[in-house]
Structure formats: C-alpha cells, structure tokens
Amino acid sequence: MASVKEKRQMMDFFVDRLRTASLTVVPVSTNISGDGEKTDYIAVDNDGAVLLVNRTYPNDSFVQARRYLKQTKSSVAMVFYKDGKTFFRSAAKDNNFKGSLDLSLKNYTSEQIQRMIMFRPEEAYMAGRCGVLQYYQPKSDRLDEALATFGFEPVRFDYSHIDSRERFKPQNRDSSKLFIWSPDRKEELTDDIRLSKDFLVS
C-alpha cells in the first residue's frame, strides 16, 4: 500500500496537471467510505472529481465511496496507484498461478501470460463496468511518472484438456480476478490532463 509520501506525490501530480484545463482544483481527504479511513480525491470545478485509489477498501467501502461521489458529481474518474503490489499485480509472478493454471491457460502465449494481472476487488469492480482502468504510475528507473491507461479483458480458462467423461470437469469460463491488458489499448500521459465524463484525458 502507498506510503503517506507516495500518496502526497500522487495527489500533487494530478493537482498540477489538472489546473491548466480547470477553473478550480481542490485536493480533499475525508471519510466518505464508512470504513473509518480517509479517502483522497480531487474536486474539479463544480461537478467533477478524481478518486485516488491509493489504499485498499474492505467489504463494500469502495462502492460506498464511489457512490457518494457519483451522487454529488456528474463526472467521477477513478485512478489506482500502480505499485505492482497492491494494484496492478502481475499474476505471472505468483508461483501458485504458474503451477496450477498452466493447462487451463494453454491458449495464451508466454508473452500474453506476462501481461496478466491479478485484480483486487476494487479493480475488478471497475473493470466489470468499463474494461478500461487508469493508474498513477510513479517514476522508477524504467518508467516515467504518468497517468497510465489500460484496456483489459477477462482471462478465459479452457479445460478441454480434462476428459469430458470426468464427473467434475469444470466449464470453460471467464475469470473474475485474472485480466489481461492489450498493448493496443495502453496509453501514458505525462503532461496536462483534463476530466472528461468519467475518465482523465489529454
């Protein structure tokens, strides 16, 4: 989970880049989720908000925070903190994933498996609604500080390797937690951004 310093940097990044296209940009940190923890968001003009998902939300508190903003603002964007530990977690790095799912993922190449992400409930909730998620990407040795947008689709499990005469052969199905992003649907923005409907755009 993001540290206090990392959360502040995320907030500063978006406040700075939203100011060019907005009349008012106000950082807010308050409890709107009902879980006793502060939720960070940016109020944009009179009818917009950017929810900074920089922590985990137990039970239905994420839904509650989003609902609160959607009831008070006409445009609400969601931005997750892309640390690879809490959000945007690589499924391929999980040893259990490699060992137990390799046959059911036989229709995917090694390169595609490297792009599979194990979603937390907050990510899965949003992906189920629009298929596109936006992340704050902190600066690293390999990556620039940016708003990173990814298009996702659920991973499809294929159990055709199991004999159809098996009594408990599972049905082929879409995963509820595993999603794969497409290189054709990836974008990084480092400069000024604006709020448009429920997304941040250039």
For the segment 33-45, what is each residue's pLDDT rounded down to a tens digit? Answer: 999 999 999 999 9
Q: What is the pTM of this model?
A: 0.90
Three-state secondary structure call for residue 139: coil
* Tokens, residue 42: 């940016």
pLDDT band at 158 (very low <50, low <70, confident <90, very high): confident
CA-to-CA distance for 158 and 147, rounded, in angstroms?
34
Q: What percent of the chain has pLDDT over 70?
A: 88
pLDDT at 165 over 80: no
Nearest to 10 by CA among 117, 147, 144: 147
Helices (H), the chain: 4-18, 61-72, 95-101, 110-114, 121-130
pLDDT of residue 110: 85
Stronger pLDDT, 72 or 106, i.e. the higher one: 72
pLDDT at 19 over 90: yes
The string over 124-151, giving b where at least 16 C-beta atoms fall within 10 Å of a residue's C-beta and e elsewhere, is bbbbeeeebbbbbbbeeeeeeebbbbbb
CA atoms within 13 A on the CB side of 26: 9
CA atoms within 13 A on the CB side of 38: 8
